Amino acid sequence: MSTITIAPRQVAIETKDGLVTRTLTSGKHRRIRGATYTIVDLREQLLTVAPQEVLTADGAQVRVSAAVRWAVGDPIAFHEKAVEPLSSVYLATQVALRDALGAVGMDALAQRGARLPVAEITAAVAAVGLEVGIRVVEVIVKDVILPAELRAAATAVLAAKQRGLAQLEAARAETAALRSLANGAQLLDRHPALATLRAIQSAPPGTQLVLRLGGGEERAPGQ
């Protein structure tokens, strides 16, 4: 008796006289005389979508690339519905990316980078994949490449923003220092003895200071 062995994570579609007679899961099965067997791999795979030119909502042209995580969900539909089922998923991904970017302006795209609505893109591609027996797990937007002049403009804006923040921080530090000096001056005005003590502490060693106390003079060495 002739047999066929199906590996794990694979199925075999048995056809005879032009009709699908059964689907064989992993394991050993008896072959039917005159039947043919097509092996279908059920493991998850990756479909790379080449970079393509896409127009944004304001008419700017960007390049976007993506990848699709997919697996066979319905082996019979995958085998029978289309000659190249992956081509349908590939085209659906291109259209979904074009629709998603077409609703986003360049300013928002420059700020968000590649963070596009991937859930909506995946749902649109998954609906097409379902028709040809493909289960779309996820559409991953890999790169959204802005034109060189727009990348330079975005970099210039970011640099200007950082310079502004640095200047603001410097101004805050200067204001804090002036406020501290003003508070110190007011404190010395209210307490003259503190000014005398400060003068003694800051004088170089060996310096003789003349202190006026109650109309008289008294010399005190510097510290």
**CATH code at 97?**
3.30.479.30
103 CA to centre of own chain: 19
Residue ranges of alpha helices (H) inside the chain are 75-80, 85-102, 106-112, 118-131, 148-190, 192-202
Q: Residue 92: name the closest of 129, 58, 57 by CA.
A: 129
* Cβ within 8 Å of residue 1, ≥6 positions away: 30, 31
Based on the domain organization, do 152 and 129 belong to the same domain? Answer: no
Based on the domain organization, do 67 and 92 belong to the same domain? Answer: yes
Q: Residue 66: name the closest of 150, 138, 134, 128 by CA.
A: 138
Full domain range(s) for residue 32: 3-41
Based on the domain organization, do 68 and 137 belong to the same domain? Answer: yes
Query: Final residue of a domain: which of 146, 178, 208?
Result: 146
Based on the domain organization, do 126 and 161 belong to the same domain? Answer: no
DSSP single-letter state for residue 69: E
Cα gap 201→195, rounded to integer Å: 10
Kindly tell me the sign of the dihedral angle through the C-alpha atoms of 118, 124, 129, 134.
Answer: positive
The answer to whether the pTM exceeds 0.85 is no
3-state secondary structure of 104: coil
Based on the domain organization, do 137 and 155 belong to the same domain? Answer: no
pLDDT of residue 202: 67
Based on the domain organization, do 55 and 35 belong to the same domain? Answer: no
Query: Final residue of a domain: which of 127, 146, 165?
Result: 146
Cα gap 39→201, rounded to integer Å: 92
Based on the domain organization, do 70 and 80 belong to the same domain? Answer: yes
Cα gap 207→22, rounded to integer Å: 108
* Cβ within 8 Å of residue 13, ≥6 positions away: 20, 23, 24, 37, 38, 40, 75, 76, 79
Based on the domain organization, do 76 and 142 belong to the same domain? Answer: yes
Cα gap 202→217, rounded to integer Å: 20
pLDDT of residue 153: 58
pLDDT of residue 195: 64
Based on the domain organization, do 179 and 99 belong to the same domain? Answer: no
Based on the domain organization, do 208 and 126 belong to the same domain? Answer: no
- pLDDT per residue as tens, the chain (223 positions): 689 999 999 999 999 998 999 999 999 999 999 999 999 999 999 999 999 888 888 777 888 899 999 999 999 999 999 999 999 999 999 999 999 888 877 777 766 555 678 899 999 999 999 999 999 999 999 888 776 565 555 566 656 777 777 777 777 777 877 777 777 777 667 767 666 666 666 666 666 655 555 555 555 555 5
Number of domains present in the structure of the chain? 4
Contacts by 116-119 with C-beta closer than 8 Å and gap 24+?
Answer: 116/141, 116/144
Based on the domain organization, do 139 and 186 belong to the same domain? Answer: no
Strand partners, 144: 64
Based on the domain organization, do 119 and 58 belong to the same domain? Answer: yes
